[in-house]
Each structure stands twice: as structure tokens, then as C-alpha cells.
Chain A
Amino acid sequence: MELLVFVLASAMVLGGAVGVIVNRNPVHAALSLVLTLFGVAVQFVALEAHFLAAVEVIVYAGAIVVLFLFVIMLLGVDKAENLEIEPFPIQRWLAAIVGLGVTGMLIASIVRGRKILAEGEPLPASGDDNIRALARNLFSDHVFAFEFTSVLLIVAVAGTVLLTRKTPASEKAAEAAAEAARSSKAKS
């Protein structure tokens, strides 16, 4: 039964991941990303990380993918991209080699270390349920880091507002006038 869950969730994860990189339309890629994230959430439940499974669905599949879709719609880049055009002819081969190399080395090291992982019974969790244990850890050992995440989020939001702010037309005209005045002064 556990194996069945693992195989089905892995199929979701890998199918969605392949979908992200082969879909020509960014909207379809974003929807494949949702499939992958749901698969990862199922794996989290199977690993008894219930809180993180919920956060995965809410934050990733809910907020981040919706933000992606929102940006795609806002910019109107939802036209299918032609994947046939290749500015660098060997780029795809090099990318495949690098990807396979990274995966191969990771799997080789995992397989080499599997004996250490298999030694002994899995240690039991602390006995609390998942959310309680996570909260106790977060608010005791990592409370400073937790507080700093709020600073990070505020900075990110403020920075994004500043980055994407359109310069108002009147301000732009004033800038152009100042520029023209400066250049005419330099000439004379």
C-alpha cells in the first residue's frame, strides 16, 4: 500500500516536472508545476510531515503558482514558444549531459550511502504530533530566524513595489525637460 502511494505520487512528481520543461506554453508549464507540487505534498504526508504538506499546497500551489499565472496573464507572454529555434546548437546536448551527470552523481552517492541509512530502526519521533513538535522547535531553537523571516518578507514586498512601480507621466516629462536643459547648457 505504501509502495503504491509512493509510486503514484512519484509518477505525479516526475510527470509534472517533465511537463514543466517540455511544454511550449508557459501556462501549461505552470499547471504542470501544480501537479508536481501536489505530488510532493503527497510524499510529505507519506513521510508524516503533515504541516509541511498543508503549507506546500497552500503556499506553493496556491500562492506561488497563482502569482506565476498572474504574471503570465499580465505580460501576455502566453503565446507558445517555438522550441525548435536554438541559438546555441550544442546547448541542449550540454544541458542534457549536465543534468544526467548531476543526477547520476547524486544517485551514486545515495546508493553508496544506503547501508548507513538502513542501519538500525528508524528513530521514533518525539511522540508529539507533527505540528506541535514543529512549533516547539520553531519557537524555541529557531525563534530569531523565524522573526527575521518577517523582516525578509517585508523587504521583499517593499522592494517589489519599488521595482515594478511605473514612473508617472508628469514625473517622466519633468525628467526629460531637466535632461534637455542639461544637454543644451553643455552645448552652449
Chain B
Amino acid sequence: MMLAAIVPTTTYYLILAAVLFGIGATGLLVRRNPLVMFMCVELMLNAVNLTFVAFATRFGNIDGQTAVFFVMVVAAAEVVVGLGIIISILRRRPGATADDLAELRG
């Protein structure tokens, strides 16, 4: 079997992460529901995490995994604050999309 002999190298993981980042960026630009846009940001963060871990494994350096740990903490804090803002906006005007929120004034 030729296929069984192929072992996925770091390059494979990097390309997967690049495609995931591209899908997340496209979704962020296309969708106008604030919640779904947030999910696309999560996709992009995960692509970056995958890149970090791939490099950490390739170079045998654990620092990359530490960076991923911090990214996860910051992502959790970001989601909490972001969803709080979305709740307070959508409570005031239900069904608002990202286009309706062009000004800071409530």
C-alpha cells in the first residue's frame, strides 16, 4: 500500500489550519448574525491553535502549547464579554444584524 506509507507531516497540519482560517474569515465577512460571526472568530482562533501545536510538536518545544493554553483562556474571556454585549444590544432591539449596529449610540 502506497497510501499507508504516507505519514502526515507538519506541512499537512499547517495547510489544514490555513484552510480553516480562510473558511472562518470568509464566514466572518459573509454572515450578518452577530452570534454566527462570533463562531467564525472561534474557527479562526482554532486554526491558529492548530498551527501553534503543529510547530510545537515539530520542533519539540513546549512553548507553543503554552501559547495555545493562553489563547484558550483569552478566547473564553472574549466570548463571555462579547456575548454579554450581544445580549444587551439584542435586548434593546431584537433581531438586529451587524448592519444595523453601525453606530455606537444605543
Q: Do A and B bind each other?
A: yes
Interface residues of A, Cβ cutoff 8 Å to B: 1-3, 6, 10, 13-14, 17-18, 20-21, 26, 29-30, 33, 36-37, 40, 43-44, 46-49, 51-52, 55-56, 59-60, 63-64, 67-68, 71-72, 74-77, 81, 87, 91-92, 94-96, 98-100, 102-103, 106-107, 110-111, 114, 117-118, 122-126, 130, 133-134, 136-138, 141-142, 145, 149, 152-153, 155-157, 159-160, 163-164
Q: In whole angstroms, how far apart are the Cα atoms of A140 and B26 in the complex? A: 39
| Shortest CB distance A92–B (Å) | 6
A99 contacts which of B26, B60, B68, B86 (Cβ < 8 Å)?
Answer: B26
How long is the Cα–Cα vector from A114 to B14 in the complex, in angstroms? 10
Q: Chain A contacts of B72 at CB under 8 A?
A: 52, 55-56, 59-60
Please tell me which one of the listed residues A63, A67, A74, A122 contacts residue B60 in the complex, with CB atoms under 8 A apart.
A122
Q: B95 and A77: CB pair below 8 A?
A: yes
- The verdict on B104 contacting chain A, using a C-beta distance below 8 Å, is no
